[in-house]
Amino acid sequence: MANFYTDNEDIKFHLNNPKMKPIVDLKERNYKIFETENYGNDNIDPCDIKPYNFEDAIDNYSEVLTIVGEICGDIIAPNAEGVDEEGPRLENNRVHYASGTVENMKALKQARLTGMTLPRRYGGLNFPATAYNMAVEMVSRGDASLMNLFGLQDIGETVYEFADDETKKNFLHRFSSGESTGAMILTEPDAGSDLQAVNLKAHFDEKANTWKLNGVKRFITNGNAELSLVLARSEDGTKDGRGLSMFLYDRDDTVQIRRIENKMGIHGSPTCEMVFKDSPCILVGKRKFGLIKYVMALMNGARLGIGSQSIGISEAAYREALKYAKERVQFGKTIDQFPGVYEMLTDMKVKIAAGRSLLYETSRFVDMYKVYEDIEAERKLSNEEKQDMKKYKRRADFYTPLLKGLTSEYCNSIAYDAIQIHGGTGFMKDFPVERLYRDARITTIYEGTTQLQVVAAIRGVTSGLFTEMMEEYQNEKISPELEYLNKHLKEMKNEYVEAMRIAEAPEDNEFLDFHARRLVEMAGNIIMGHLLVLDADRDIKYKPMAELFIKKGQPENTEKFNKIKTIDRDDLGLYKTLSI
């Protein structure tokens, strides 16, 4: 009997962070909420599963996460190899999942885990994003490809946030009951990173009194889903993002799935090319807000999901590497005794701890602003609440791409080292690390490549938000024995400010873009350093982790700083010439 929740104290440590209190208090409306409506499962009275105080709510999350952990350990992980080998297949325009995937989905559905973040009145569990992403992390540790189906709960959440009441009443229970899976249909052959170029057409058919979709989409995870959100051009003659709207498509026979891609990894998740032919759909929210508002919200949720997926894959790779290193004997010793191996293992562990702290800090920011948005739909917010909502929204917008960019890169380097620790065996299909390495590769690409996360995160870095966060972290009261770590982080921050000054000095966007990744990574090292110090303050067992992360991060930042100092504006010409 394996349980991915109870065998991982770090997840519980983050669930028990006192910063969860304001989130849960608001989410449960101070435990005074009385749900009078029920558009979800008729057999369940939403009041029956409502917590009566903060501790009760945390206990509830913990109980649910124990069930998730058990399903992951006992069903999902043992199925992963078979799923990877079998993969989905396309027959008569229908996608059939691998048999292991079918069993996994059935277990998740039976445990009512398919609408975790939706309000109870729609049949959901009213989970905060923070606790939900703990489930996503565990599912990804079991089978990264299944996360792509399980994690599509964001579709239901986006419908909840932006659709009208009738659409919510008609469709949300289908997500929460597990009757329908979701898909996020954005990418086209000529619109990948640049979604402003989306060209799939939406027109209103007066006769049929409905919107209809026409065109091609590609690389769509779970394109066979029953309910999908589609980004389409609703405004004739427009060419940019302002002409795009979002639509809810309820699967019928008008869409042809042309093919399932033959991929390097995440074999269990079908990636589809699709053709829409006069496919009826429902407008979600307002016209023209498709990309600029709704897709941005949808993608931010999905990026948080990829952050969780990256941590889950990293955890699996680290555990496999550790197990192997403890058993494999060379030169008369187990290989974990060699500095060249234990350094890799420790670096993996520290990166996971840092990435996980960033994941749950980001999730808390998301929770805070979203819960205020939800309350705003019920009543007027006070000025103070409005300020809080804005503050957390800005933080979430900065931290989400930072998280996605950094943890997905960590995930790849951890999977790489896990193979290295296995030596030749790691290159064979006999051990799970080979699959984990292939699965890890996509995390830096979908939901926006690392380069695009840098483009999004650099705004937070240059806007003064980073400095604001530094002040907040530095002002947190911590135990005197950790103060010296904050001193190092202060030095790193000062160096960072100087690097920023140099990168911004020429007042030339291309020069800033050239150094942007270095700057974002420097900022990430400082932020994660602070988060680990705060973790160590709550539990001293995290102190060595904080210490090593900062000891390694400081020279890494100095190296990046030196590069920013050395490669000046004129060198960009050299880079351009040599790149072709």
Q: Which residue is nearest to ligand FAD (CB)?
A: 192
219 is an interface residue for ligand FAD by CB under 6 A: yes
Q: Residue type at 123?
A: G
449 is an interface residue for ligand FAD by CB under 6 A: yes
Site string for ligand FAD, 21-60 (x = CB under 6 A): ----------------------------------------
The interface region with ligand FAD, picked from 31-39, 108-116, 215-223, 334-342 by CB under 6 A, is: 215-223
Please tell me the distance from the alpha carbon of residue 554 to that of residue 569, in angstroms, as a whole number: 25
- In this complex, which beta carbon is closest to ligand FAD, that of residue 370 or of residue 404? 404
Site string for ligand FAD, 451-490 (x = CB under 6 A): xx--x-----------------------------------
297 is an interface residue for ligand FAD by CB under 6 A: no
Beta-carbon neighbour count of residue 86 at 10 Å?
17
CB 141 within 8 A of CB 4: yes
- In this complex, which beta carbon is closest to ligand FAD, that of residue 383 or of residue 579? 579
82 is an interface residue for ligand FAD by CB under 6 A: no
- In this complex, which beta carbon is closest to ligand FAD, that of residue 157 or of residue 347? 157
CB 297 within 8 A of CB 342: no
Please tell me the distance from the alpha carbon of residue 169 to that of residue 185, in angstroms, as a whole number: 22
HEC string of 477-495?
CCCHHHHHHHHHHHHHHHH
78 is an interface residue for ligand FAD by CB under 6 A: no
- In this complex, which beta carbon is closest to ligand FAD, that of residue 9 or of residue 510? 510
CA proximity to 249, closest of 213, 198, 286: 213
> Hey, CA dihedral for 121, 122, 124, 127, is it positive or negative?
negative
442 is an interface residue for ligand FAD by CB under 6 A: yes
The interface region with ligand FAD, picked from 20-28, 219-227, 465-473, 572-580 by CB under 6 A, is: 219-227
Number of residues that bind ligand FAD (CB under 6 A): 20
441 is an interface residue for ligand FAD by CB under 6 A: no
In the complex, minimum distance from the CB of residue 431 to ligand FAD, in angstroms, rounded to a whole number: 23
- In this complex, which beta carbon is closest to ligand FAD, that of residue 93 or of residue 451? 451
Please tell me the distance from the alpha carbon of residue 187 to that of residue 547, in angstroms, as a whole number: 42
**φ, ψ (nearest 5 deg) of residue 329:** -105, 130
Site string for ligand FAD, 179-198 (x = CB under 6 A): -----xxxx----xx-----
> Hey, CA dihedral for 316, 319, 325, 326, is it positive or negative?
negative
- In this complex, which beta carbon is closest to ligand FAD, that of residue 273 or of residue 495? 273
Tokens 């919510």, residue located: 168
In the complex, minimum distance from the CB of residue 49 to ligand FAD, in angstroms, rounded to a whole number: 31
- In this complex, which beta carbon is closest to ligand FAD, that of residue 493 or of residue 518? 518
- Out of 315, 361, 434, 447, pick the active-site residue: 447
Q: Is 447 a catalytic residue?
A: yes
In the complex, minimum distance from the CB of residue 202 to ligand FAD, in angstroms, rounded to a whole number: 16
**Which tokens belong to 542?**
């995290």
The interface region with ligand FAD, picked from 80-88, 162-170, 216-224, 308-316 by CB under 6 A, is: 216-224
414: exposed, middle or buried (Cβ count in 10 Å: 0-12, 13-18, 19+): buried
Alpha helices in 273-423 (DSSP H): 296-327, 339-376, 383-422
Classify residue 157 as left (phi > 0), alpha (psi -120 to 50) or beta: alpha
54-71 and 129-142 helices cross at what angle (nearest 10)?
Answer: 10
249 is an interface residue for ligand FAD by CB under 6 A: no
The interface region with ligand FAD, picked from 158-166, 322-330, 446-454, 546-554 by CB under 6 A, is: 446-454
> Hey, CA dihedral for 452, 442, 149, 47, is it positive or negative?
negative
User: Of residues 266-285, which lie at the interface with ligand FAD (CB under 6 A)?
Assistant: 271
Please tell me the distance from the alpha carbon of residue 556 to that of residue 550, in angstroms, as a whole number: 10
CB 532 within 8 A of CB 553: no
In the complex, minimum distance from the CB of residue 295 to ligand FAD, in angstroms, rounded to a whole number: 9
How far is residue 542 CA from its own chain's centroid?
24
User: Of residues 84-143, which lie at the interface with ligand FAD (CB under 6 A)?
Assistant: none
221 is an interface residue for ligand FAD by CB under 6 A: yes
Please tell me the distance from the alpha carbon of residue 178 to that of residue 160, in angstroms, as a whole number: 16
Q: Which residues are CB-contacts of 349 (< 8 A; sequence separation ≥ 6)?
A: 318, 545
- In this complex, which beta carbon is closest to ligand FAD, that of residue 133 or of residue 228? 228
- In this complex, which beta carbon is closest to ligand FAD, that of residue 19 or of residue 263? 263
446 is an interface residue for ligand FAD by CB under 6 A: yes
Helix (H) or strand (E) holding 158: helix 153-162
In the complex, minimum distance from the CB of residue 198 to ligand FAD, in angstroms, rounded to a whole number: 9
Please tell me the distance from the alpha carbon of residue 256 to that of residue 274, in angstroms, as a whole number: 6
In the complex, minimum distance from the CB of residue 476 to ligand FAD, in angstroms, rounded to a whole number: 35
Please tell me the distance from the alpha carbon of residue 125 to that of residue 135, in angstroms, as a whole number: 13
**Which residues of this protein are in contact with ligand FAD, per CB under 6 A?**
184-187, 192-193, 219-221, 263, 271, 442, 445-449, 451-452, 455
Catalytic residues: 447
